[in-house]
Structure 1
């Protein structure tokens, strides 16, 4: 049965493994690994930046970006639920001595422009200096559109702030937008990031590489970032095998993200129908996905039963608990990816129907 925990669980395809096995190698800390250099050059040109830097993880590339844009005591504006603030172990504060200024996310995942403007500190020694605006796209699987991304970049520039994108799934956002307009997802991705000073792109999520993320920016910015990467222990030696996987992913796995989005839609639609058929609407609700991530909110008792029974069928997913109006609730996350097939979606739905019908 399928593994819905995350799109990080993907396995390299046979063609990707062949690219890894045949990759020429050098020493990336010395800057002479040809496969790493090829990946960095390709990605920078693809998204319209001067240069790129390969690192082991998206958490690291985000932290490198924050520490390259900000000095000790500076402030970065972030979303309350965004990865850079909530899911990266406080790295910006602990390791970068950067003060996060978290703002409430709107239901569509965005930050209000008025909230961002109001959060920018005046030039006063009593306050941390606001230096950076961070945007995340996709955010919890939700897609921030072209107009919004352009608006946030312009807002940052008008206030003399640098702006960084946590674009771990930026190609999911691009594919979702492109599918509505019959556009080229590569071109849409370039439009989404236009006007930003830097972006972190994950290669090991939906794109399917085994390891690695890229940080992109200007030549001067990447020169600073390379120093920070070394400081954080992110310099790798013969990293070309990993880089070759990332290059293959960028060249061959972007358009196919639409398959993951379609599978998520099929899974969510099927689950919603099962909930209606079983009369569990007050205990089980879900958000229709915009990309490849589905969130389901269940009463705690139902969630415990549902997750335990799925586990007996080797279905893997993630869940967490929270309080709402004094009641315990559970949120289940289901993520589709290149190792989730249409047959596995149907098997998941059949299993879910059996469990919920007998609850």
Structure 2
């Protein structure tokens, strides 16, 4: 699955296909919005994973961002590292609340100021509008002196799935150069040039059905306009130059995910810039500021709270694995590499 050097334009959908996509995506959005509203009702959501407060900015006044301040933090403490989170959902679904568990854990476990950003969703807002919307919000955050004190030399952007793609693309913009020290991308889409059939074929032969198989083209239609160059690095970060990304980049893929192979290709490409020696295994390695980890035996978005398994023991094992994944990524960005921890 080579990285093509030829630009590929987004094809147009037929009239009937476009109508079908619009109806289907509209139904899925209605369903997921309803779920999110129910989970946000008082007494329904988990009170232990609520944000410290929420906030909007004049640049995007209709969007509300969730701020998680570490419970141990108090006024006058040293400035905190800042992590900006971008939720997943195929560029069209969900709200920042979907990441409340992760954001709460990250803030309290690692003493980090976490801001979960709401961004403009497709299909009403197609590429590149969400990217520049996120840029405006991040710029406002970095200039916001009313927030708990944070260290501007320790700013990281991360996300899940579509949010991970945004985390890999927004920092490429000139306005953020030198302002973001790291990226954490959990199971990101990295190459829209590769056809869905080819990405599916890159999965292990023993992998079961992929949750994205019937959704990938739908999300692609919702986010990308006809005629768009799919090889634009702001859309497909596998085409980005190493110098356009922050010093540290951590990419996590899931073995049975159709997006995994292209994510690994991106990690290898970025790691090839430099003279550092690769340390680790095929499934988990670090080189030249790049960290790659493949979650063996896992599918796309296995850690989302919407797919909790039945049974206390299975839930406990999943929770342990998701937190191990989160911790490994966090250590790469914020602390010196600890080989005994990262490569268990």
User: TM-score normalised by the shorter chain: which range applies?
Assistant: 0.3 to 0.5
TM-score (norm 2): 0.32
TM-score (norm 1): 0.31
> Higher helix share goes to which structure?
1
Higher relative contact order (CA 8 A, sep 6+): 1
